[in-house]
Structure 1
């Protein structure tokens, strides 16, 4: 009886991983393609203002496409393509939170430091920033490929990354909320309208940061709890539990594009933020 348990557990984890990967491929790829088309075509605003969202969509599309390799690795392990799978996982573990944080940073600067935001508003600055970010992401992919078999080492890196990104986005959200609670005083009709417009911009920025922060907590909180618990107690095994946590992160690949479509008013019967 005991000898059958490991096999049964392995079968369950394969099923969970297979389902989450399939959902990400079927739902994540078309929604991210749609977001990319909206940004490139200019249907949702200027490309400069949505450049980080565009790069996030590209990163998600690349990972969604690589899910074909994930499925092959799950059900045909004899092909030995785990290195390619581990490489592509870097797009998920770093690419997604990195570009989400850049979106939050942009909103934070627009509200709290508008002079700095206007100074670096041109597309060339965002383009240069994204070149550096993609270099960091590719480096992360290479690290994932080289140390793919050392789960504990990788999970510690993920824990540090996720805690950092959650903390900094929480700071952005609280800073924008504080700015929202302290509107600039003014008198007169024109000034009142301008103040109301500024408050609307702040509220929109706060909602965007809040949605991203909540979605990141859904993605990464299981990782944080698991790895922290495993560090505190060596009796906790990361293997199968880590696969479940990774599956949660994978299956939610369509959440960010849906939030973007919601924000831009592209979802039926739902007003944008």
Structure 2
């Protein structure tokens, strides 16, 4: 069986002839000697589906509801939520392809959605850039606040995402995996830089070394949590993929790749849950205010 390695939530596909006899191995059968990570990956993907879809839909509803009082980053969060909802729809097809099917036709659909998810760090980078400008360059941020450049940037990211996903869908572009490696490394480094600078700026903005305004203190904690999530979700592929040649093909195909992308894909649930946890106090406050108004 000819194996082609690609950088996706499924790294390889079998190139089967059109007159396939059906006796070829499924992905799961090819890793039958080391199935633990694949099983954990599939369980994680279904958790991601049942948790990520409602969480992202709630994010979309909240952003729509508070349209007149939205933050500047909400446009990127909205588009990221749409992308994650689409990605969270694929686990049933993925389960069928990994465990039961030997046909190669359905991999075109999966590779397209994997390509979309591969590009999600671009929207995260836009969010980090927006926060970086707000904290580190507040004057420039204020001057640009009401302009349409965010919508233009979001459109540009979608065009890049669709072009990348379409190219990944083809599945036979030589050295295409290097595009993902370069993209994830650049996005990861950029997000880490922005968040560390934001944390440093917030930490130094207090009147004393150990003092900080309560609002800035909450912002500091939130950015710290975001930084931890970025490291948790995106560090494994960043750390492991450049060293693919040092792993045996079976270990990389059945272990490393599923571990790395399982964590990265789970960001489709963690990101909206983080947003909802941030919005919860505001929602409770609005409910309390509504109740008080009705009592009066």
TM range (shorter): 0.7 to 0.9
Q: Could you say which residue in structure 2 is the equivalent of 1:168?
A: 190
- Aligned residues of 2:84 and 2:268 also touching (Cα < 8 A): yes
Instruction: Say whether residues 1:239 and 2:264 are aligned partners.
Output: no
Question: For the residues of structure 2 that align with 1:249 and 1:52, how far apart are their CA atoms?
Answer: 18
Aligned pairs for 1:48-67 (under 5 A) are 48-67=72-91
Residue in structure 2 matched with residue 190 of structure 1 by the alignment: none
Q: Which residue of 1 aligns with 2:22?
A: none
Task: Please name the residue that 2:156 is paired with.
Answer: 132
Bigger proportion of residues as helix = 1
Distance 2:283 2:152 in 1: 35
Shift of the alpha carbon at 1:141?
0.7
In structure 1, list runs of 5 or more residues that go unmatched.
186-195
TM-score (norm 1): 0.78
TM-score, normalising length: structure 2: 0.73
Distance 1:100 1:266, change over 3 A: farther
Aligned position for 1:89? 114
Say which structure, 1 or 2, has more relative contact order (CA 8 Å, 6+ apart): 2
Matches within 5 A, 1:1-273: 7-9=31-33, 11-42=35-66, 45-46=69-70, 48-79=72-103, 80-95=105-120, 97-122=121-146, 124-147=148-171, 153-154=176-177, 156-183=178-205, 199-200=213-214, 202-231=216-245, 233=246, 235=248, 237-240=251-254, 241-265=256-280
Aligned CA-pair RMSD: 3.1
Q: Is the 8 A contact 2:116 2:161 kept in 1?
A: yes
Q: Which runs of 5+ in 2 are unaligned?
A: 1-28, 285-296
Q: Secondary structure at the residue paired with 1:102?
A: helix
State the distance in 1 between where 2:140 and 2:219 align.
Answer: 16
* Structure 1 range deviating more: 62-71 or 81-90: 62-71
Q: Is the 8 A contact 1:173 1:206 kept in 2?
A: no
Range with greater deviation from structure 2 (42-51 or 120-129): 42-51
Q: Secondary structure at the match of 2:45?
A: helix
Instruction: Summarize the Cα distance change of 1:180–1:21 in structure 2 as closer, same or farther, 3 Å threshold.
Output: closer
In 1, the alpha carbon distance for the partners of 2:228 and 2:75 equals 22
Equivalents in 1 of 2:107, 2:46: separation in Å? 17
